[in-house]
Chain A
Amino acid sequence: MKKLFALVLSLAMVFALVACGGNNGGTTNNGGTTNNGGATNDGDEGGETSAFADLKVGFIFLHDENSTYDLNFINGAKAACENLGVTNYVLKTNVPEGQECYDAAADLADDGCDIIFADSFGHEDFMIQAAKEFPEVQFCHSTGTKAHTEGLSNYHNAFASIYEGRYLAGIVAGMKLNEMIEAGEITADQAKIGYVGAFTYAEVVSGYTSFFLGARSVCPSATMEVTFTGSWYDETAEKEGAQKLINNGCVLVSQHADSMGAPTACETAGVPNVSYNGSTISACPNTYLISSRIDWTPYYEYAITAVAEGTEIAADWTGTLATGSVVLTDLNTDVAAEGTQEAIDAAIAALEDGTLHVFDTSTFTVGGETLTSYMADVDTDPDYTPDTEAIADGYFHESEYRSAPYFDLRIDGITLLDEAY
């Protein structure tokens, strides 16, 4: 009997607890179940933001905030909505690059979203599929390549002139090399940079080339070796790639992949590292130099504002240093050479007034020759057909004919250790 009584009592307690939980949650969470993170901004800016208050914005992300790549987009999305006073927005995370992306986009459109963003390259075709089905909804895809050939009025691509950020980060690297040469740690011809890339994709090629040109603009004897991992996120492969480069005699390493693999390998080996997509200073205080990244907030603000005001969104939008899309974060003055900040500022000024071009054809050669003409593969097709003349006025016009990078030249001074991917 006693036992039964105890059982009944404990069950009653469990139910009571649940009931309490139910009540509490009900009062605090009233109405907050349909959107994310709104409410805080309510009524802040009065009537001015009413066009934004009526908007509903959807975001699709490949992973969640545990990925540095997606975190960069998530932060941009939240900041843009907060700045504009958009209270009604939905973040969908962990959306794979398959039919799930179309499903997520269509679901957001069903839900009444006026504009929908996706953040990963592989989402593109599925966003286009959704854009065709929902002509009244705007679809914006970061890093994609097809908007300018697809001819849909509600489908748009965006990127940023991140090659300029890479170039500036390269200057920081070059100055560090100079410092090492002057201190007698290495000789001038040992100034070899290592670079861990993901794929031989134009975005990566454009990235490491601009980084190298930046470094060589201050350290003329610099050379570079590049290795590829075949994955955008593979901590082990990136770590091993960085280690291989260090063993090959690289005295400074940078990377274009999303894990902490390369930075931690550098910290362990005591080799200076230039990071990407955000500062790694907390994990690598003794080797981290600087990081370049794309801030997506300006683009999100631009596109959402366009929808609110009923204006057209550009098929291709390229963020720049001037729009605040290309940013350098956290110069580590403990590791960087004297005068680095001044050199960066001078280069930014020259890039902005047009006296300096990253891909100036007088600063690099391909197969020993200076280029005067190059047909780039700007319009995406399965045969990689070169279709657009990219060199004019003495420099390669990157991110002008479409927002995503298309510089894929193999310039002299850079050795690719493998091209499997």
Chain B
Amino acid sequence: MNKRQSRFYISKRTDLSWYAAWGIRGAAILLALVVCAVVTTLMTGENPISIYITIFEGAFGTARRTWITAQDLAILLGISLAVTPAFKMRFWNIGAEGQVLIGGLATTACMICLADKFSNGMVILCMIVASIAAGALWGFLPAFFKAKWNTNETLFTLMMNYIATQLAAYYIIVWEVPKGAGKIGIINQSTEIGWLPQIGNQYLLSIIVVAVLTGAMYIYLSKSKHGYEIAVVGESQRTASYAGIKVERVIIRTMVLSGAICGLMGLLLVGSINHTLTTTVVDSRGFTAVMVSWLAKFNPIAMIFTSLLLVVLSRGASEISSNFGLNHSFSDILTGIILFFIIGCEFFITYKINLRKSAEKEA
């Protein structure tokens, strides 16, 4: 007998058309929905179709819900845009959480400490400068150490998150109202000093800022000289230095940019949306952003869709839990299944599974 061979073998695809790739992705999402439906029926006995409808209604059911979904989308997308240039450079920045939080802390400091010293416009100007500078500093430190002494950026940025969280926790106790409560409450609720202006309604400002940012980031990454340098450094640092690119400078510059955008998101979160600071104000979106960015293969336009998917799922989650009396964890299960299929289908886009000729004959 011959040595037994596997009936299948894998080869790399070279000529997959864009519509075939999207066809595979679409099929993966459909399949994920089917599996979710089966899991839902088996585990809860609820009608999966009505669960899907509820998710949709939770995200878009009323005008207010649609606005909130768009606003959540904007913040998640903004943070994802921030981490993307660093990722493209193969600099594993998982410190977005801390970079956003420190931007929020800087914003809070300006709102509380400068409220009775400057005019409203001046306070807002200080907030913008301070939040961007704070985020940029949180991005600069790990990049500087990486560039000079080749420290591990993953650990460094992760640790910076904890420093930011502890700093925020410390200042929340300093500014707490009333004493001992451990909460700041809405800052300047009566005077609204330091509240970023409302454009149209309270949700639109963040959406506009991030929309502009998305376009700018797309152009920066794909059309500018900086974007090209980032890509080359990401491919190979040696190639980059051989080509005359100052690698250290690119690393530091890119991370400062990353941090600054995170700081800006912190400004929006505190100055425009929450008007208060808690240690959980970023709500792990600094980490979710990593997934958004990867799923979209670092393409800012594709990120709109990946972040929309995650935001809709999480907005729908709370609606499921209040309508069906299911725990929030159940929607995490559904999200997990859907992500599994989406990430898994990339395998089928990159590779092709072939049947062996001999095996086919046997059958």
Contacts and interface: CB of A to CB of B under 8 A. Distances in A.
A99 B274 contact: yes
B180 interface: yes
A125 interface: yes
A305 interface: no
Interface string A45-65: 000000000000000000011
A377 B178 CA distance: 9
Nearest to A90: B322
A64 B321 contact: yes
A231 B38 CA distance: 40
A279 to B, nearest CB: 23
Interface in B329-363: 363
Given A18-B37, A107-B62, A126-B186, A94 B273 contact: no
Nearest to A122: B183
Interface string B121-133: 0000000000000
Nearest to B173: A421
B323 A64 contact: no
Which of B50, B169, B185 lies at the interface centre, i.e. has the most chain A CB atoms within 10 A of its CB? B185
A33 B50 contact: yes
Interface string B143-185: 0000000000000000000000000010001010111111101
Nearest to A96: B280
Given A18-B38, A22-B49, A64-B327, A421 B180 contact: yes
B235 interface: no
B278 A96 contact: yes
A92 B50 CA distance: 19
B241 interface: no
Given A15-B34, A122-B183, A36 B50 contact: no
A181 B45 CA distance: 58
B237 interface: no
B80 to A, nearest CB: 20
A98 to B, nearest CB: 5
Contacts of A367: none
A129 interface: yes
A304 interface: no
Given A36-B323, A202-B180, A99 B273 contact: yes
B224 interface: no
Interface in A326-350: none
A2 B182 contact: no
A302 interface: no
A97 B68 CA distance: 16
A379 to B, nearest CB: 9
B41 A201 contact: no
B64 A103 contact: yes
A380 B177 contact: yes
A125 B186 contact: yes
A384 B179 contact: yes
Contacts of A230: 169, 173, 182
Contacts of B62: 107, 110
A356 interface: no
Interface in A1-56: 1-3, 14-15, 17-18, 20-22, 24-26, 28-29, 33-37
B186 A129 contact: yes
A380 B178 CA distance: 6
A169 interface: no
A25 B49 contact: yes
A381 interface: yes
A161 B274 CA distance: 32
Contacts of B46: 25, 29
**8 smallest beta-carbon distances between A and B, as pairs:** A25-B47, A21-B41, A201-B180, A125-B186, A200-B180, A99-B274, A98-B274, A122-B183
Interface of B: 34, 37-38, 40-41, 45-50, 54, 62, 64-65, 68, 169, 173, 175, 177-183, 185-186, 189, 273-276, 278, 280-281, 283, 318, 321-325, 327-328, 363
Interface of A: 1-3, 14-15, 17-18, 20-22, 24-26, 28-29, 33-37, 64-66, 90-99, 103, 106-107, 110, 121-122, 124-126, 128-129, 145, 198-202, 204-205, 230-232, 377, 380-382, 384, 408, 420-421
30 contacts: A1-B363, A14-B38, A20-B41, A22-B37, A22-B48, A22-B49, A24-B41, A25-B46, A25-B48, A25-B49, A26-B49, A29-B46, A36-B322, A65-B327, A91-B322, A93-B328, A97-B278, A98-B274, A107-B62, A107-B65, A122-B185, A128-B189, A145-B178, A199-B181, A199-B182, A200-B180, A201-B181, A230-B169, A382-B177, A421-B182
